[in-house]
Structure 1
Amino acid sequence: MVNQSPILSKVTGVILWSRNLERSVDMYNKLLRLSQEQQERFGHLHIFHLPSGLDIMIDSNGMENVPVPEKASPLFFMPANEIDEAASFVQELGFEIIYGGIHRNEAVSFFNMRDPDFNVITVCQNHR
């Protein structure tokens, strides 16, 4: 018999830290293009309810004195239908493409982007 974990085997949300909640909400609002009904605000916390059931929570609680890191690994990835179009789009929104730009191979093309708080997200196009 396998010991059961008190932690459920699922991810229901991700948390992005923000030093400027209004700026972050504006950027992610433009990125995600969700209706107001798919969002909630609780003071220092803004939640985007994605159609997939996953929540992206932007939290500014106590972040004003936390330094922005110089590097970070991706927190999650989001799919794209056209990687070059996606790269142009995120840059227009104020995200920075980092770690060598767009990487391409036979199976996938991807890039890593960061917001001003150095939350890193991978955007990936599957070629298969």
Structure 2
Amino acid sequence: MRPVSNQIPAVFIHVRDLKKSVKWYSEIFGLHVDLDTVVSPVHNVPMKGGTGLTLDDHTFDDQFTHQPSPNPIANFLAADIDEAYEFLQQKNVKIVREIERIGKKFAWFNFSDPDGNVLMVCTC
């Protein structure tokens, strides 16, 4: 075994307001969450597959400055890119890059969360 494994157990997304972000991500993914159970500084959003999603508000880190990346920090799978795009638009999610298509099966677009973190939806 190597000292650093080629596995990603979780992706961290840095947020300003943990409860607000947990609510937003839960609505996007269709998850039920009891916001009374959300406690700073982190919340693990239940995800399918092997990689987790951790929202982190850095409550205990007074040196932290939130600086969202202008590039996607994670991508989420969609079976139908057009349906995903329309769904996010109906939720008033900011689309920051329109749908791009490569061939007949692969497509993606970028959107941002309420903290300005850029994320991607793609087909495979």
Q: In 2, distance between residues paired with 1:9 and 1:68?
A: 27
Per-residue CA distance 1:42-78 (angstroms, 9 max, x = gap) = 4221111212132111111148972544x52211211
Give the percent of matched residue pairs that are identical in Structure 1 and Structure 2.
27
CA contact (8 A) 1:79 1:123 kept: yes
Q: Which residues of 2 match residues 30-45 of structure 1 at below 5 A?
A: 30-36=27-33, 41-45=38-42
CA contact (8 A) 1:27 1:94 kept: no
Q: How far off is 1:82 after superposition?
A: 1.4
Distance change in 2, residues 1:15/1:94 (3 Å): farther
* Count of residues paired in the alignment: 119
Please list every run of 5 or more consecutive structure 1 residues that lacks an aligned counterpart in the other structure: none
**RMSD value over aligned CA atoms?**
2.5
CA contact (8 A) 2:13 2:53 kept: yes
Which residue among 7, 10, 13 is the counterpart of 2:10?
13
1:125 maps to which residue? Answer: 123
Distance change in 2, residues 1:41/1:53 (3 Å): farther
2:45 maps to which residue? Answer: 48
Q: How far off is 1:93 after superposition?
A: 2.9
1:91 maps to which residue? Answer: 89
Q: In 2, distance between residues paired with 1:7 and 1:34?
A: 33
CA contact (8 A) 2:111 2:120 kept: yes
Q: In 1, distance between residues paired with 2:76 and 2:5?
A: 23
Q: In 1, distance between residues paired with 2:44 and 2:113?
A: 17
Is the strand fraction higher in 1 or 2? 1
